[in-house]
Structure 1
Amino acid sequence: DQALKAMLEERGVNKACGAKVTQVTDDAVVYEKDGQTVSVPADTVIVAAGYRSNNELEDQLDGLVDDLSVVGDAVAPRKILTAVHEGYHAIRVME
């Protein structure tokens, strides 16, 4: 996980923990946190949420985005090490 954290930081990936995504557009992500609405310009979005498999967001984004990677327990309940490896690989191959 330390290598993954370092890669995120090196690539300038913004993180918004505890936020509720309200909209994903072609060039931005809009979320609510602490009573404020925030719009962040983005061409790539990574969502890491919850402890149980919930693919509602994947279903909503299917066909709307060019490249969608699903990792961790969203695929199936497994060990955290598997999720870390999948997340690392998803970030490593990003363009």
Structure 2
Amino acid sequence: EMIRKDGGEALAVTVDIADEDSVRAAVERTVTAYGGLDFAVNNAGMASHHQQLDQMTLDQFERVVRVNLAGTFLCMKYELPALRRRGGGAIVNIASNGG
């Protein structure tokens, strides 16, 4: 809203980066809206449920890995072909100190 108010263009897309179909759809929507992809910033992650490792369930641990590791992989899997179609670009992956 603030970007548009200042005369810019903006698109908000909700995506679950742990879900491949959601990531693919988000990249496709962006490419459709702007005619391609020139850059991407992958900046999503989650904490380890603020628990010690020996107190986590396997499901909790797998969700952290799915979001923090597989999520970045999935984003890049669909971003890279879109960048190549434009002749190149840049991807910035941001991790936490724990990464």
TM-score range, shorter chain: 0.3 to 0.5
Structure with greater strand percent: 1
Q: TM-score, normalised by structure 2?
A: 0.34
Q: What is the TM-score when the length of structure 1 is the normalising length?
A: 0.35
**Higher relative contact order structure (alpha carbons within 8 Å, sequence separation ≥ 6):** 2
Q: Which has the higher helix share?
A: 2
Of structures 1 and 2, the larger Rg is shown by 2
